Amino acid sequence: MLLLTIIQILQVIFQVVRWVILIQFVLSLLIVFNIINTSSPFIRSLHDGLDRLTEPLYRPIRRFLPTSNGIDFAPMVVLLLLVIFNIILNNIAASIMAGGAL
C-alpha cells in the first residue's frame, strides 16, 4: 500500500512538472512573438522563475541534443520522458493491484 501511495505522489509531481513546462513554453512563445513584453516586472520574474525551475531538467538533454535552427527540443524530450515514466508507474501499480510480483 505504501508503494502505491509513493507511485501516486510521483504521478502528481510528474503532472505538475508537465504543467510548468507547458506554461513556460506558452510564455516563451508569447515573448518571442512580442505579444507580451518582458519590460513588465511580473512577466520578467515569472519567466526567470520558470527558467530556473526547468533548466536543471533541460541541461543534461541539451548536452546530447543540440538546438536545430534555434528550436530547443529539450522540453519535448522531457515531456516524452515524463509520459514514459508515468506509463511505467501505471504498470507497476497495476501489477501491485493484481497481486503480481514486480
Secondary structure (3-state) at 68: strand
| Span between the terminal Cα atoms of the chain, in Å | 14
Give the model confidence (pLDDT) of 84-102 as tens digits: 999 999 999 999 999 865 5
Cβ-proximal residues to 40 (8 Å cutoff; 6+ apart), any chain:
none
* Contact yes or no for 62/72 (Cβ under 8 A): yes
- The reported pTM is 0.86
Continuous H helices in 1-102: 2-32, 41-64, 74-97
Residue indicated by cell numbers 548536452? 63
Q: How confident is the model over 50-69, as a mean pLDDT?
A: 90
Least confident of 1-15, 47-61, 88-102: 88-102
